[in-house]
Amino acid sequence: MIASPQFHVTMTPEEYLAWEAEQELRHEYDNGAITAMTGGTLPHNDLAINLLSVLRPHVKARGCRINLADAKVKVRDDGPYYYPDLVVSCDSRDRASTQLIRYPTLIVEVLSPSTESRDRGKKFRQLQESETLQEYVLIDYASVQVECFRRSEGRFWVYETFGAGDVVRLAAVEFECAIETLYEDVNLTASPDA
């Protein structure tokens, strides 16, 4: 997803949830600030769909749920609320949820120029507060590269990167696939449409 400039309106979490339910676009919430999430590029969408296609049968068989960009993730009761590109929850408390995911196991972001610094920085720091989150994955939009941050002991996170020819390993859901599968039919060349 691509982030649009923030609104200059401050809302409580309750006001945000009531307001956002009536909006056509999705909006992330962080400490009163609202950020509109707009559509991404075709390569961005292709990467998310490729991962969903190979990961969904695997996590479903494990009793987990998987959702794409329209699923809101709640970090704490007072926010923030984010819309990751892909989220997996293996917590039974999320299985019947219709509004949001509260107990994520795995969160994946396909990077874009407008969200990369936020996804790597503030968003990741806040998502680390989730006691159930085991892995945070960043998929590069410009080159064949996947970065994985895996929860270790205490507050420590282990970093692993995957490139061309590698097998991407998502330990939180015991899943592996060739990185080429994620990038299959994805045009990484930036060319304007005619």
Taking only the tens place, the pLDDT of each residue in 37-63 is 777 789 999 999 999 999 999 999 999
Rounded (5°) CA angle 14-16-22: 115
Nearest to 91 by CA among 77, 100, 99, 103: 103
pLDDT bucket at 27, cuts 50 / 70 / 90: confident
d(CA 59, CA 160): 21
The phi, psi pair for 4, rounded to 5°, reads -95, 165
Which whole number is the average pLDDT over 11-36?
A: 85
Torsion of CA 53, 126, 5, 31, to 10 degrees: 130
Mean pLDDT of the chain: 89
- Tokens 């061309």 belong to 164
- C-alpha 135/C-alpha 46 separation (Å) is 21
Asked if pLDDT for residue 15 goes beyond 80, the answer is yes
**Cβ-based neighbours of 3, under 8 Å, separated by 6 or more:** 28, 35, 36, 37, 38, 114, 115, 118
Give the separation between CA 177 and CA 167, rounded to whole angstroms.
5
Q: In this predicted structure, what is the pLDDT of residue 172?
A: 96
Q: Which domains does the chain have, with CATH numbers?
A: 40-182 (3.90.1570.10)
Question: Sign of torsion, CA 97 100 103 108?
Answer: positive
The alpha carbon torsion through 89, 50, 170, 109 (nearest 10 deg) reads -70
Does residue 102 register a pLDDT over 80?
Answer: yes
- Considering the entire predicted model, what is its pTM? 0.88
What confidence score (pLDDT) does residue 43 get? Answer: 92
Q: What is the pLDDT of residues 104-154, one digit of tens each?
A: 999 999 998 888 888 999 999 999 999 999 999 999 989 999 999 999 987
Instruction: Provide the H-helix boundaries in the chain.
Output: 13-20, 42-61, 92-95, 116-120, 122-127, 179-182
Question: Using 50, 70 and 90 to split pLDDT, how confident is the model at 1?
Answer: very low
At 181, phi and psi to the nearest 5? Answer: -65, -40
- Residue 194, pLDDT score: 44
Is residue 96 helix, strand or coil? coil
Q: For residue 36, what pLDDT is reported?
A: 84
Mean pLDDT for the stretch of residues 169-185: 97
